[in-house]
Chains A and B, each alone.
Chain A
Amino acid sequence: MKTIAIYSIKGGVGKTAAAVNLAYLCAQDGARTLLWDLDPQGAASFYYRVKAKVKGGARGLLQRNGELPGRIKATDFPNLDLLPADLSYRHMDLLLDESKKRKRAFGRLLEPLTDDYDYIFMDCAPSVTLVSENVFRAADLIISPVIPTTLSVRTLNQLSAFMEHPKLRDVRVMSFFSMVDGRRKLHREIMENLSQRRKGILRSYIPYSSDVERMGIRRAPLPEFAGRSAGGHAFRLLWREIKARIEDGGDGNRA
């Protein structure tokens, strides 16, 4: 089982779109996949038409005998299940702080799923909190979308600094450029500059496209309803590259 967290300190960078589409493509490859929607806004759940509600809420999940399997919902697509979001996830930090193993709670929750899934994707809410620390501890790989602007790049640096923690050194980090506008000089420059300087930046990027926005209207992953669109194609290339890197094992994928 590989656990992949889609994470960014900054909001609005195309995180949920990436989680929804990558999980879908992963399942389409035949891998048993679970998408865990950790964002209290529940956008990923919404895209898959699953109600953003979890039995017992965040508290039920984190209490001593809380478990994930009974809370999982099948999506409409083969091999892909979803663990929905819940509004109460906004208190997750407080609850984690009260719990005993506050940084390893997610790891414990995911453990019983080892044989059930090949890949688990976590769609995380932005910011650096106890929740994100839990996610980092539980993840094998963190994928961070970056908009090629100065502020976004700055948050990428912050993430790198954070990941220097000794307990997190084994977690691989990859980034990709998101919402890229090829007409803008600044985007082109930042992309070129950063790709040369940093190792963990993926070659595939996601262009800014209205297709991605249509996901909210269609309530389905992009490759499902617009597989041939530029966005659909870009996500497919991105997943192929990520998968190749995962299978490679590889070294120094630090962003």
Chain B
Amino acid sequence: MVSEGGGALRLTFYDSFDWRLHRAGLSLRLEQPSRRPAKLCCARQGTGEEDCQDVAAVPRFADDLPAGRLRTRLQQVGGIRALLPLVTLRGWRYRYAVRNEDGKMVARCYLEQWRPASRRYAGSAPVGLVRLEPLRGYEVDTAAVAELLRGEELERTGIDLLQTALELVGRVADDYSSKLDVKLQPEEDAVVAVRRLLRSQVDVMRANEAGIRHDLDSEFLHDFRVAVRRTRSALSQIKGIFAEPALAPFRDGFAWLGAVTGPKRDLDVHLLQFPEQQRLLAPGQSADLLPLRLLLEQQQAAAGAEVVAALKSARYRRLMRYWQTFLDQGGTEFDGANARQPAAGVANSRIWRVYRRVRREGRAISADSPPADLHELRKSCKKLRYLMEFFQSLYPRNKMRRAISHLKDLQENLGQYQDQTVQLANLRRHSEELAARGGEIPVPTLLAIGALMDRIAGAHQQTRAGFARRFAAFYTPANHRLFRELFHTRGPSMADQP
């Protein structure tokens, strides 16, 4: 072993709120030695491979890093999510090269000691580590070294530093996902199952509140809104579970929450799409859109303030408190007619019913149907999707995944069509708003918006033309058999009552 130096160091680990890097097998850390410049390193977990770059500070988004491999990799994985600090450690690290008889390095060995940097953990004991990192092609040699260290009772070999850091502050990786993951039992009472499902959505909303308030990135609000929509969808779709009069205030409350957060989300989406829209224009023209961007950003800030105000309002606090109480209490006083039916029966009948509606509505759409018909179909598809996701744990995994993927393809087309419809309407409105401001808006800007609208309108037509093919792929005998097998139970069911 040959020493390669070392010393005091601060380490901060980063990931997106939904652990995108961790899920991709990456870990991102900022290393701040006491006297040398800081560097940001992205490591492939379990290997010695990493990309490092000197940085002054870690920007919120990977887009704002200097161009290079590190940025490309983080952009690919992290996408539009902010890089947030997970945990900071302070301590020291010494590095050694482990060499074979030819003097070739076969592994790196780190001798290190860490403790959380935050004062909150001031009393905690530091953790000492001996960590081995294999070099590519020398895994066998590294294993042999690890065996030697084990003999010396230096047990902490092959340890993932991120894992250790998280343990030090009592965090668990991958502790957030916006995906529905509630295990239901087919025979449990429908009301119990639905309460659990809805409770999980309360957790999603709560988890995203802070990110929305601090405006960390657009996806906090997005996940929040998905949870609100799922909740509303459940309230309207899963009928007869709760007594109707008890639900009315919650329906109103979540409808309000959906409405008050809508404008901010629309503007987020528009601004996220902005670079792509700029690329639709001739290179010379894309800069002409900047006044539009400014307008959008102003409106986004105002809409964001309204969302924050809503989350701080007494109305929101009351809604969430009452809703949580409503879901957590186990009594029967708010039971609807189907509350005590088995969950599987309720799921089957609701999904089957909405599935048939999707088929019916889709079949009725011809080349001349108005956009409103497609919008209705899109909403039905969404309801179906939510229901299927709610109850997915009751069905065989593979078949369910297949059924959802067919639906997903159809939804993609409908979603794109709707997005383009909204984009066109927004651009029309924005150009009017800009025009209403009088002479300060340059003509090239209005021309660029016009050109952009032309491009989007063309794509919009193409999406519409693609609908028939997408629907045909959904409306196949094979897919119908799959849905029938999964969701269609013979004989009358109590849960089938509206």
Contacts and interface: CB of A to CB of B under 8 A. Distances in A.
B102 interface: yes
Given A49-B102, A219-B103, A74 B136 contact: yes
A81 B136 contact: yes
Contacts of A48: 104
A51 B136 CA distance: 14
Contacts of B68: 30
B48 interface: yes
Contact of A76 (B69, B105, B137): B105
A48 B137 CA distance: 14
A72 B103 CA distance: 18
Interface residues of A, number: 13
A187 interface: no
B102 A74 contact: no
A73 B138 contact: yes
B136 A50 contact: no
Interface string A24-62: 000000101000000000000000111100000000000
A74 B103 contact: no
A74 B137 CA distance: 6
Nearest to A55: B137
Contacts of A73: 135-138
Contacts of A49: 102-104
Interface residues of B, number: 12
Contacts of A74: 48, 135-138
A76 B136 contact: no
B169 interface: no
B180 interface: no
B451 interface: no
A76 B97 contact: yes
B246 to A, nearest CB: 57
Contacts of B69: 30, 32
A34 to B, nearest CB: 11
B49 to A, nearest CB: 9
Interface string A199-239: 00000000000000000000100000000000000000000
A74 B99 CA distance: 13
B224 to A, nearest CB: 36
A49 B104 CA distance: 5
Nearest to B135: A74
Contacts of B97: 76
Interface string A69-97: 00111101000010000000000000000
A66 B135 CA distance: 22
A73 B137 CA distance: 4
B76 to A, nearest CB: 11
Contacts of A71: 137
Contacts of A219: 102-103
Nearest to A76: B105
A50 B105 CA distance: 9
Interface string B121-136: 0000000000000011
A53 to B, nearest CB: 11
A50 B99 CA distance: 11
A30 B135 CA distance: 18
Contacts of A32: 69
Contacts of B48: 74
Nearest to B50: A78
A51 B97 CA distance: 18
Nearest to B137: A73
A71 B138 CA distance: 10
Contacts of A76: 97, 104-105
Contacts of B104: 48-50, 76
Nearest to A32: B69
B136 A72 contact: yes
Interface in B435-465: none
B46 to A, nearest CB: 15
A76 B105 CA distance: 6
Contacts of A72: 136-137
B476 to A, nearest CB: 36
A51 B138 contact: no
A43 to B, nearest CB: 14
A82 B102 CA distance: 16
A220 to B, nearest CB: 9
Interface string B87-123: 0000000000100001111000000000000000000
Nearest to A48: B104
Given A32-B69, A74-B48, A76-B97, A51 B137 contact: no
Nearest to A219: B103
Contacts of A51: 102
Nearest to B68: A30
A103 to B, nearest CB: 29
Contacts of B105: 76
A30 to B, nearest CB: 8
Interface string B29-60: 00000000000000000001000000000000
A48 B68 CA distance: 27
Of the candidates B48, B102, B137, the one having the most CB atoms from chain A within 10 angstroms of its own CB is B137
Contacts of A30: 68-69
A247 B465 CA distance: 44
A73 B105 CA distance: 11
Contacts of B137: 71-74, 81
A233 to B, nearest CB: 25
A51 B135 CA distance: 14
Contacts of B135: 73-74
A213 B281 CA distance: 58
A76 B48 CA distance: 12
Nearest to A73: B137
A32 B68 CA distance: 12
A71 B137 CA distance: 7
A72 B47 CA distance: 14
Contacts of B136: 72-74, 81
Given A73-B138, A76-B97, 7 more contacts: A49-B102, A72-B137, A74-B137, A74-B138, A81-B136, A219-B102, A219-B103
22 contacts: A30-B68, A30-B69, A32-B69, A48-B104, A49-B102, A49-B103, A50-B104, A51-B102, A72-B136, A73-B135, A73-B136, A73-B137, A74-B48, A74-B135, A74-B136, A76-B97, A76-B104, A76-B105, A81-B136, A81-B137, A219-B102, A219-B103
Interface of B: 48, 68-69, 97, 102-105, 135-138
Which 9 residue pairs across A and B have the least CB separation, nearest first?
Answer: A73-B137, A49-B104, A74-B136, A74-B135, A76-B105, A49-B102, A49-B103, A72-B137, A74-B137
